[in-house]
């Protein structure tokens, strides 16, 4: 326990507001404003995590999204967030945190023995070892021992994130000094500026390093910039992570506290995402107590949390000097050990050593010293600062390239390769002075941060960690190089370097440099890995937004749904619509008795989802002739015709009845699930082949309620409802009833006389009321879709997509007439004339007759003799109350020629015999229509 | 997410569009040979680089001709069929 709380420092915390969380069942105390990380640093134990693979003890390393070690499964309001970074988790009362990959606690983890095996489990160990018998035999045990956080199967995170689409003039990502200066310039140029900042505050490193900008103290500069952006109509989103750059300039950002997921299309994007401090690589560098120097500076100023009492700050960079000074001033004993001979002046109160090579870290459970130039130095904390790596994820996601700048010892964005301008440390302008010079701001401070390019020393003995989070060591990188995985993409996959939740922020550059060293190549020759979204881990609930449960794929609802519910309807989804399946408790029994009632007496069903595409204008007949397989220009006004719509491949896409209420007006009754697609199939030739000014298509499906009355007494029910009509089968008329328009179409999908009654949506309840009172008088039934399915199957009426498949052409359904007769062109015509379309072994629609149980849908048809092969399959199957036996429809190879013969039906290893029949099993003469 | 220019509506998100067909393959009318018909149905160029394609803006129902670079995703033009 070496961290401590300074009595006065800490700009973020409110000492009058204590907060207590529990970490691994131990209370951790802090203040309002603390993060879990700052509270742990100030008061807690050093070993707060266990590593991914070897279960090594680990402590806090960084302060932002780069944190590789301090991961917890955090429980807040009963919901578990796995792998939450302590650095980004506010300290709250009642918050429960469990160290990942440790049982029972990080301190006393029972798998710590695994580290003893490190010699025998290098990178690639799993791939090479657990092969015999298959990985799945070993996976459960290994997963239990290695890995990170655990999902809580008992809680579901709330679906509360809303997506918001926006455009803006100039989007600036990152509100450090570079981003703020860019914002001021854009405001001055009259642009609308949006500023996105990941932390809760503007200012970036100014907040802990301080500074003077253009003669103003940093907080005045920040507040003035904030006011200017807002006054010019801009927007500032703090606590917001820009996590992805996508095509055509789209930026995705998550504003966590407001539960908003932004999709922003800026006119111009400026990237000011700063840089991440590089570590150093003494042997044993993963020991708790080794920390990023910048992180120590951050925790000291903002939280008064001091990393240690006796600190060695090892650096090769200028940036560590202010840190050493601040820590010494706060009361720590600080040794500043610089790799360089030429250094800035030593800060006051700091022991300054130059030309120091950091070799190793000493300590078992706790760090007790470090070795510099073969000399032991006692210390409780080692701060490391090996230079800076620009955060260029978004630039690279947007297609940007990087250049190696040897002078800066960094990969910096190549201007003009992405649509973004990159400024500040992200662009290689390291330090306040450099950022101001780059931006052209007058400044007293013009110093650039320099550093000596430090790399892991290949000859150093001991274990050197490259990637703390995925437990990748220098030895693993060398092993990968020896085994030929020398491309950085292969290195990444072989060792898992950079693949953890920190996305290798502190590891990727080192891994790349180590591979370059191991293969005697330069860094540009070695290359970089691909940057992919998200920039940092993103909960799937953010991407999913509100699309869950009822909102995942909401069905269309009937206007009369409540009336059907009152009548006892059960509902199910059919083709995207929620429709009554049956009116009664037990669906199957209800459907059977409803089907019987429809045959014996009269029944009503809600057919509103049936498509209603109005095709209007003098060009309508020609368009429909081209689009449909059946000629429709010859249809007389006031009549209806059954027709197929084919794809150009000749495959049946939809079927339905087309009505012609008037010379220049047609209504296409597309299947309810196909309305949109049929509309676009018609729109294509309308716009691309015919004169679009001569014909219009209008989808009015959801503007009407359609109730269908069917059964031997259908006409009686209509009469009792006060609706008089004497139209013939396939006739239609449009009348007025109580002042509202009513369309009556005598079309049957059941095989009994049927009338489809369509009224504008607001008149649906009135029509319902009339029919309902007539139904009561006649003892008729409401029937659901399950009964309708029985009735249509008895008649051999198909459902496209159920009784047809991706090979079915109209002649396979007994509709060869138009193909043989039509001379004019129509969609799919040439396909119907190919050899394949005329092959004798095509699968054709037939009926099947069996005794006993109904056949299973999907069961394959097989020959009764000879080698077994599929001849087709059962497409629909029901018990028929009207016939007192099961019925079935099937697609059967050469089916038309097999009518009267027997065929095998194969299911679960058993073959039963069925008789092939014509598809229509009920009233084949159509006398009931 | 890409942004496509509907000639009727203006720029809209790519999720509102459906790819229809590659342009430049006119439908062989009348009684084409099986080979010509099969080529019309199934042969696509799928060029890497500039491509001319028919797209449908689903929300307004407009089919239009778009020229875009399939590699850089740059939109090079959009024409309505009028
Ligand atoms: Zn449009």
How does pLDDT run across A529-576, given as a tens digit for each residue? Answer: 788 999 988 989 999 999 988 899 999 999 999 999 999 999 999 999
Token look-up 């960084």 returns A62
**Counting Cβ atoms within 10 Å, is residue A120 exposed (0-12), middle (13-18) or buried (19+)?**
exposed
Distance between Cα B82 and ligand 1 center (Å): 14
A562 touches chain B (CB under 8 A): no
**Degrees to nearest 5, angle at CA A797 with A559 and A799:** 60
Higher-pLDDT residue of A146 and A469 is A469
How does pLDDT run across B64-75, given as a tens digit for each residue? Answer: 999 999 999 999
Nearest to A847 by CA among A917, A913, A794: A917
List of chain A residues whose C-beta atoms are within 8 Å of the C-beta of residue B14: 247
State the average pLDDT over residues A450-477.
89
Query: In this structure, are residues A682 and A731 in contact, taking their beta carbons and an 8 Å threshold?
Result: no
State the average pLDDT over residues A371-396.
96
Q: What's the mean per-residue pLDDT of chain A?
A: 93
**Degrees to nearest 5, angle at CA A40 with A151 and A86:** 35
A833 touches chain B (CB under 8 A): yes
State the average pLDDT over residues A721-749.
96
Distance between Cα A917 and ligand 1 center (Å): 50
Task: Determine how many CB atoms are found less than 10 A away from the CB of residue A737.
Answer: 18
| B73 closest CB neighbour out of A247, A683, A825 | A247
pLDDT of residue A460: 83
pLDDT of residue A218: 95
pLDDT of residue A742: 98
Residue A353 — very low, low, confident or very high, per pLDDT cuts 50/70/90? very high
Q: Angle formed by the axes of helices A319-330 and A293-303, to 10°?
A: 40
**Degrees to nearest 5, angle at CA B13 with B17 and B47:** 60
List of chain A residues whose C-beta atoms are within 8 Å of the C-beta of residue B27: 648
Residue A483, token pair as written in the block: 């085994």
Answer whether residue A476 shows pLDDT above 80: yes
Query: In this structure, are residues A93 and A446 in contact, taking their beta carbons and an 8 Å threshold?
Result: no
Lowest mean per-residue pLDDT among A118-132, A336-350, A644-658: A118-132
Query: In this structure, are residues A1 and A45 in contact, taking their beta carbons and an 8 Å threshold?
Result: yes
Shortest distance, CA A834 to any CA of chain B (angstroms): 6
Q: Note whether A834 contacts B34, CB cutoff 8 Å.
A: yes
Q: How many beta-carbon contacts under 8 Å exist across A and B? A: 52
How does pLDDT run across B5-63, given as a tens digit for each residue? Answer: 999 999 999 999 999 999 999 999 878 999 999 999 999 999 999 999 999 999 999 99
Q: Enumerate the β-bridge partners of residue A421.
A: A270
pLDDT of residue A85: 92
Q: For residue A34, what are the CA distances in angstroms to A7, A198, A262?
A: 15, 16, 27
Q: For residue A289, what are the CA distances in angstroms to A44, A47, A68, A305, A410?
A: 12, 9, 14, 14, 27
List of chain A residues whose C-beta atoms are within 8 Å of the C-beta of residue B2: 247-248
CA neighbours closer than 13 Å in the CB half-sphere of residue A550: 3
Residue A604 — very low, low, confident or very high, per pLDDT cuts 50/70/90? very high
pLDDT of residue A549: 87
**Degrees to nearest 5, angle at CA A567 with A561 and A573:** 40
Give the nearest chain B residue to A697 (CA atoms): B61
Query: In this structure, are residues A261 and A370 in contact, taking their beta carbons and an 8 Å threshold?
Result: no
CA A710 to chain centre: 46
Give the nearest chain A residue to B70 (CA atoms): A247
**Backbone torsion region of residue A833, taken as left when φ is above 0, otherwise alpha when ψ lies between -120 and 50, otherwise beta:** alpha
| A648 closest CB neighbour out of B34, B41, B61 | B41
pLDDT of residue A374: 94
Q: Rounded to whole angstroms, how far apart are CA atoms A571 and A565?
A: 8
List of chain A residues whose C-beta atoms are within 8 Å of the C-beta of residue B20: 684
Shortest distance, CA B11 to any CA of chain A (angstroms): 11
State the average pLDDT over residues A85-109.
88
Q: Note whether A833 contacts B58, CB cutoff 8 Å.
A: no
What is the residue-wise DSSP string for A217-248? EHHHHHHHHHHHHHHTT-EEE-SEEEEEE-GG
Buried b (16+ CB within 10 A) or exposed e, A556-579: eebbbeebbeebebbbbebbebbb
Q: Note whether A683 contacts B61, CB cutoff 8 Å.
A: yes
State the average pLDDT over residues A102-109.
81
Q: Note whether B63 contacts A684, CB cutoff 8 Å.
A: yes
Instruction: Provide Rg for chain A, Cα atoms.
Output: 38
Residue A645, token pair as written in the block: 């719509």
How does pLDDT run across A619-658, given as a tens digit for each residue? Answer: 999 999 999 999 999 999 999 999 999 999 999 999 999 9
How does pLDDT run across A201-241, given as a tens digit for each residue? Answer: 999 999 999 999 988 999 999 999 999 999 999 999 999 99
pLDDT of residue A146: 67
Token look-up 């008064």 returns A304
Q: Please tell me which of A33-47, A134-148, A293-307 the model is most confident about, judged by mean pLDDT.
A: A293-307
**DSSP state for residue A915 in the 8-state scheme:** E
Query: In this structure, are residues A286 and A56 in contact, taking their beta carbons and an 8 Å threshold?
Result: yes
State the virtual CA torsion across A33, A34, A35, A38 in degrees, nearest 10.
Answer: 150
Shortest distance, CA A831 to any CA of chain B (angstroms): 8
Shortest distance, CA A247 to any CA of chain B (angstroms): 5
Three-state SS at A836: helix
Distance between Cα A762 and ligand 1 center (Å): 29
List of chain A residues whose C-beta atoms are within 8 Å of the C-beta of residue B58: 676, 680
| B29 closest CB neighbour out of A680, A825, A835 | A825
Distance between Cα A386 and ligand 1 center (Å): 54
Residues 6 or more apart from A422 whose CB is under 8 A from it?
A270, A271, A272, A390, A392, A395, A400, A413, A415
Overall size of chain B counted in residues:
82
Answer whether residue A521 shows pLDDT above 80: yes
pLDDT of residue A127: 67
pLDDT of residue A456: 86
Answer whether residue A360 shows pLDDT above 60: yes
**DSSP state for residue A344 in the 8-state scheme:** P
Q: For residue A742, what are the CA distances in angstroms to A345, A392, A734, A752, A765?
A: 94, 65, 6, 21, 13
List of chain A residues whose C-beta atoms are within 8 Å of the C-beta of residue B82: 692
Residue A78 — very low, low, confident or very high, per pLDDT cuts 50/70/90? confident
List of chain A residues whose C-beta atoms are within 8 Å of the C-beta of residue B28: 830
Q: Rounded to whole angstroms, how far apart are CA atoms A301 and A323?
A: 10
State the average pLDDT over residues A24-30.
92
Distance between Cα A250 and ligand 1 center (Å): 20
Distance between Cα B4 and ligand 1 center (Å): 10
Higher-pLDDT residue of A102 and A225 is A225
pLDDT of residue A654: 97
How does pLDDT run across A679-708, given as a tens digit for each residue? Answer: 999 999 999 999 999 999 999 999 999 999
Distance between Cα A828 and ligand 1 center (Å): 28
Q: Enumerate the β-bridge partners of residue A668.
A: A613, A658
How does pLDDT run across A147-184, given as a tens digit for each residue? Answer: 677 888 887 888 899 999 999 999 999 999 999 999 99
| B81 closest CB neighbour out of A165, A688, A834 | A688
pLDDT of residue A564: 98
State the average pLDDT over residues A705-717.
97
Q: Note whether A684 contacts B2, CB cutoff 8 Å.
A: no
Higher-pLDDT residue of A919 and A157 is A919
Q: Which of residues 135-194 of A touch B (CB under 8 A)?
A: 165
Query: In this structure, are residues A882 and A873 in contact, taking their beta carbons and an 8 Å threshold?
Result: no
Q: Angle formed by the axes of helices A587-600 and A785-794, to 10°?
A: 50
Q: Note whether A835 contacts B34, CB cutoff 8 Å.
A: yes
**Degrees to nearest 5, angle at CA A639 with A889 and A724:** 100
**Degrees to nearest 5, angle at CA A273 with A267 and A277:** 165
Q: Note whether A831 contacts B37, CB cutoff 8 Å.
A: yes
Query: In this structure, are residues B33 and B39 in contact, taking their beta carbons and an 8 Å threshold?
Result: no
A652-662 and A665-669 strand pairing: antiparallel
Answer whether residue B4 shows pLDDT above 80: yes
Q: Note whether A248 contacts B1, CB cutoff 8 Å.
A: yes
Q: Rounded to whole angstroms, how far apart are CA atoms A313 and A294?
A: 10
Please give, one letter per residue, the 3-state secondary structure of chain B: CCEEEECCCEEEEHHHEEEEEECCCCCCCCCCCHHHHHHHHHCCCCCCCEEEEEEEECCCCEEEEEEEECCCCCEEEEEECC
Three-state SS at A14: strand
Under an 8 Å CB criterion, which residues of B touch A? 1-3, 13-14, 18, 20, 27-32, 34, 37, 40-41, 54, 56, 58, 61-63, 73, 75, 81-82
Neighbours of ion ligand 1 (CB under 5 A): B 6, 8-9, 57, 60, 62
Residue A133 — very low, low, confident or very high, per pLDDT cuts 50/70/90? confident
Task: Determine how many CB atoms are found less than 10 A away from the CB of residue A410.
Answer: 25
Query: In this structure, are residues A602 and A614 in contact, taking their beta carbons and an 8 Å threshold?
Result: no
Answer whether residue A880 shows pLDDT above 90: yes
List of chain B residues whose C-beta atoms are within 8 Å of the C-beta of residue A688: 54, 63, 81
Token look-up 């138009």 returns A818
Distance between Cα B64 and ligand 1 center (Å): 9
pLDDT of residue A1: 53
Q: Note whether A830 contacts B32, CB cutoff 8 Å.
A: yes
Q: Note whether B37 contacts A834, CB cutoff 8 Å.
A: yes
Q: Note whether B63 contacts A688, CB cutoff 8 Å.
A: yes
pLDDT of residue A343: 92
Shortest distance, CA A727 to any CA of chain B (angstroms): 36
pLDDT of residue A237: 98
Answer whether residue A504 shows pLDDT above 70: yes
Distance between Cα B12 and ligand 1 center (Å): 8
Q: Note whether B14 contacts A265, CB cutoff 8 Å.
A: no
A683 touches chain B (CB under 8 A): yes
State the average pLDDT over residues A391-417.
95
Q: Note whether B32 contacts A688, CB cutoff 8 Å.
A: no
């Amino acid at each position: 326990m070496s961290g401590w709380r300074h009595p006065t420092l800490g700009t973020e915390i409110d000492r009058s507001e204590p907060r207590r969380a529990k970490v691994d069942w131990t209370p951790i105390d802090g203040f309002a404003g603390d993060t879990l990380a700052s509270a742990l640093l100030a008061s807690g134990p050093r070993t707060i995590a266990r590593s991914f693979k070897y279960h090594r003890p680990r402590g806090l390393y960084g302060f932002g999204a780069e944190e590789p070690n301090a991961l917890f499964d955090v429980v807040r309001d009963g919901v578990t967030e796995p792998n939450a970074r302590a650095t980004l988790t506010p300290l709250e009362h009642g918050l429960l945190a469990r160290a990942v990959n440790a049982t029972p606690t990080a301190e006393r983890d029972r798998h710590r023995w695994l580290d003893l095996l490190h010699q025998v489990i290098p990178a690639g160990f799993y791939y090479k070892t657990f092969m015999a018998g298959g990985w799945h035999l070993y996976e459960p045990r290994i997963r239990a021992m290695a890995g990170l956080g655990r999902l809580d199967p008992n809680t579901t995170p709330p679906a509360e994130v809303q997506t918001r689409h926006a455009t803006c003039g100039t989007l600036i990502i990152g509100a450090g000094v570079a981003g703020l200066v860019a914002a001021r310039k854009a405001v001055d140029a009259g642009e609308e500026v949006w500023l996105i900042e990941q932390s809760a505050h503007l200012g970036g490193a100014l907040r802990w390093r301080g500074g003077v900008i253009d003669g103003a103290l940093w907080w005045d500069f920040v507040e003035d910039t904030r006011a200017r952006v807002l006054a010019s109509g801009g927007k500032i989103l703090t606590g917001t992570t820009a996590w992805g750059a996508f095509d055509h300039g789209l930026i995705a950002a998550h504003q966590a506290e407001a539960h908003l997921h932004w999709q922003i299309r800026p006119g111009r994007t400026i990237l000011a995402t700063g840089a991440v401090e590089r570590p150093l690589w003494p042997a044993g560098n993963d020991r708790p107590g080794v920390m990023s120097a910048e992180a120590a500076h951050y925790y000291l100023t903002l939280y008064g949390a001091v990393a240690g009492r006796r600190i060695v700050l090892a650096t090769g960079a200028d940036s560590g000097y202010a840190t050493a000074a601040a820590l010494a001033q706060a009361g720590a004993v600080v040794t500043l050990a610089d790799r360089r001979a030429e250094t800035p002046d030593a800060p006051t109160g700091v022991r300054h050593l130059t030309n120091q090579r950091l070799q190793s870290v000493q300590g078992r459970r706790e760090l007790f010293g470090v070795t510099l130039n073969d000399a032991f130095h006692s210390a409780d904390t080692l701060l490391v600062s090996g230079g800076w790596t620009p955060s260029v994820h978004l630039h690279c996601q947007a297609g940007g390239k990087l250049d190696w700048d040897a002078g800066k010892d960094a990969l910096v964005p190549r201007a003009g390769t992405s649509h973004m301008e990159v400024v500040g440390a992200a662009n290689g302008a390291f330090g306040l002075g450099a950022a101001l010079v780059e931006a052209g701001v007058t400044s007293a401070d013009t110093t650039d941060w320099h550093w000596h390019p430090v790399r892991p020393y290949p000859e150093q003995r001991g274990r050197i960690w490259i990637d703390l989070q995925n437990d990748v060591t220098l030895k693993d990188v060398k092993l990968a190089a020896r085994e030929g995985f020398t491309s950085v993409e292969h290195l990444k996959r072989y060792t898992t370097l950079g693949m953890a939740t920190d996305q290798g922020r502190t590891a990727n550059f080192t891994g790349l440099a180590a591979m370059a060293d191991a293969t005697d190549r330069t860094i540009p020759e070695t290359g970089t890995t691909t940057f992919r979204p998200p920039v940092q881990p993103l909960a799937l609930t953010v991407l999913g937004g509100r699309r869950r449960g009822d909102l995942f794929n909401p069905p269309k609802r009937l206007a009369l749904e409540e009336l059907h519910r009152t009548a006892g309807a059960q509902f199910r989804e059919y083709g995207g619509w929620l429709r009554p399946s049956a009116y009664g408790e037990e669906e199957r029994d209800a459907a059977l008795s409803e089907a019987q009632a429809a045959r014996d007496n009269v029944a009503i069903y809600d057919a509103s989802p049936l498509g209603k595409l109005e095709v209007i204008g003098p060009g309508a007949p020609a368009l429909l002739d081209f689009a449909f397989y059946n000629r429709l220009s010859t249809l007389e006004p006031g009549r209806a015709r059954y027709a197929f719509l084919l794809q150009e491949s000749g495959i049946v896409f939809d079927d339905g009845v087309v009505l012609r209420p008037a010379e220049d007006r047609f209504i296409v009754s597309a299947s309810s699930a196909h309305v949109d697609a049929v509309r676009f199939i018609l729109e294509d030739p309308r716009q691309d082949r015919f004169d679009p000014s001569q014909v219009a298509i209008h989808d009015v499906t959801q503007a009407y309620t359609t109730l269908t009355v069917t059964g031997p007494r259908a006409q009686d029910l209509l009469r009792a409802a006060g609706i008089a009509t004497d139209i013939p089968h396939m006739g239609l008329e449009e009348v007025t009833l109580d002042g509202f328009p009513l369309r009556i179409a005598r079309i049957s999908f059941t095989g009994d006389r049927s009338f489809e009654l369509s009224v504008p949506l607001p008149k649906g309840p009135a029509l319902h009321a009339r029919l309902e009172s007539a139904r009561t008088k006649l003892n008729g039934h409401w029937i659901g879709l399950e009964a309708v399915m029985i009735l249509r199957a008895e008649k051999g009426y198909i459902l496209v997509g159920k009784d047809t498949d991706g090979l079915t052409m109209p002649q396979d359904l007994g509709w060869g007439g138009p193909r043989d007769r039509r001379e004019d062109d129509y969609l799919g015509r040439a396909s119907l004339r190919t050899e394949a379309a005329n092959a004798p072994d095509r699968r054709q629609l037939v009926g099947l007759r069996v005794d006993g149980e109904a056949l299973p849908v999907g069961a394959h048809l097989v020959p009764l003799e000879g080698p077994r092969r599929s001849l087709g399959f059962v497409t629909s199957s029901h018990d028929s109350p009207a016939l007192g036996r099961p019925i079935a429809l099937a697609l059967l190879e050469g089916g038309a020629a097999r009518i009267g013969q027997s065929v095998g039906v194969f299911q679960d290893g058993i073959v039963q015999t069925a008789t092939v029949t014509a598809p229509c099993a009920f009233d084949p003469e159509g006398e009931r229509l | 997410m890409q942004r496509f220019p509907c000639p009727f509506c203006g720029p809209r998100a790519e999720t509102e569009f459906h790819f229809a067909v590659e342009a430049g393959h006119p439908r062989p009318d009348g009684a084409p040979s099986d080979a010509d018909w099969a080529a019309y149905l199934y042969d696509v160029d799928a060029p890497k680089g500039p491509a001319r394609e028919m797209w449908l803006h689903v929300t307004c129902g407009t089919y239009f001709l778009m020229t875009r670079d399939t590699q850089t995703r740059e939109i090079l033009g959009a024409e309505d069929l009028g």
